[in-house]
Amino acid sequence: MRGTQQEHFKPVLESHNLPGTCTAACYDVFDALKEISQFINHTLYVQRRRGCITSDERLESAFDNWAVNGEGFIQFDAGAQKWKALSPSAEMIKDSWNGYEARNHFFGQFINEECPKMIHQIKLREAEKRTDLRVFANPVDLTRALLKCHVTSTDKSVRSVSLTEDGATKANWITVTGPLPSGDGSVILILTAEVPLIHTNIYGCVVQTEDRTITVMWDNKKIKRRMKKTIPESMTETEKENLRMSLETITRPKD
């Protein structure tokens, strides 16, 4: 997807041979959040990444890492069953967590032994190729609008997303949001461009994949009708009439 960092598509989980509840893990996280918040004044984001990597049914590595506000905070050494501070702010947390020997033994056993077993039970299937393209706009004022191309896709072959003006590619984007992972295995990409309202050009969004092209044109008539109803009273009668004439011209279809 042009102008963005590549986001990898995730296979879909197919196995039913997994624990039916994450209650114990949730309590671990909630307890940790309470402790972390006591030592960091501005805790906006807390992330935990726990798991293992296997190759040929053998364990290559096991990990339990925490990050706070986007920075590495503390990590677990599964072999030594000890915590290591990655930030000066984590030193007191490290000392506290290293005192929980029974819990650390359980954590070490889980990522060293239970995690590889779970991986061997999991079956993955490729996500079905699906690409959804929507186009909409929000008015900025009476002469401009922000046009958005909203793409949701599970197709790895998506190569580009483009805005077209009268059929020609127009790549002057104001913002590019994403790709952002979605909960169903797809990714979301939103492209936003400012377009003028006082002309009759036709805009659309185009998604190019390996085997097809998806095009959705923007129906600007609705926004023009909305704009007619919101002409400011502060305008002079001449200004109002000129604006109405411009909007009438835009609303009429091209020959």
Q: Is the pTM of this model over 0.75?
A: no
Distance from first CA to last CA of the chain, Å, rounded? 35
pLDDT band at 7 (very low <50, low <70, confident <90, very high): very low
Peptide bond preceding 181 in cis form (omega within 30 of 0): no
| Location of structure tokens 């905070």 | 73
Q: Are 85 and 94 in contact (CB under 8 A)?
A: yes
| β-bridge partners, 134 | 150
* Cα distance between residue 15 and residue 31, in whole Å: 30
What pLDDT band is residue 82 in, cutting at 50, 70 and 90?
A: very high
Highest-pLDDT range among 41-50, 69-78, 161-170: 69-78
CA gap 86, 64 in Å, rounded: 13
Among 1-10, 70-79, 111-120, the range with the most confident prediction by mean pLDDT is: 70-79
Residue 44 has pLDDT above 60, yes or no: yes
Q: In CATH, which of 1.20.1530.20, 2.60.40.10, 3.40.190.10, 3.40.50.300 is domain 131-251?
A: 2.60.40.10
Q: What is the pLDDT of residues 172-199, one digit of tens each?
A: 566 777 777 776 778 888 888 888 776 6
Whether the predicted pLDDT of 242 surpasses 70: no
22-121: which CATH topology?
Answer: 3.30.500
**Of 5 and 137, more confident:** 137
Q: Residue 1: pLDDT above 50?
A: no
Phi-psi region of 189 (alpha: psi -120 to 50; beta: other; left: phi over 0): beta
Q: Which residues are bridge partners to 161 per DSSP?
A: 207
Write down the H helix ranges in 44-203.
Answer: 91-97, 101-109, 115-121
Q: How many CB atoms lie within 10 A of CB 7?
A: 16
pLDDT digits (tens, 9 = 90+) for 119-134: 777 766 666 788 888 8
| DSSP-assigned letter for residue 89 | G
| Residue 250 pLDDT greater than 50, yes or no | no
pLDDT (0 to 100) of residue 141:
75
Exposed / middle / buried, residue 131 (Cβ in 10 Å: 0-12, 13-18, 19+): middle
Nearest to 179 by CA among 169, 194, 191: 191
Of the candidates 198, 152, 191, 188, which has an alpha carbon nearest to the alpha carbon of residue 172?
191
Lowest mean pLDDT among 21-25, 118-122, 149-153, 235-239: 235-239
Higher pLDDT: 135 or 5? It is 135
Q: Which of 167-181, 204-218, 224-238 tops mean pLDDT? A: 204-218
What ranges do the domains of the chain cover? 22-121, 131-251
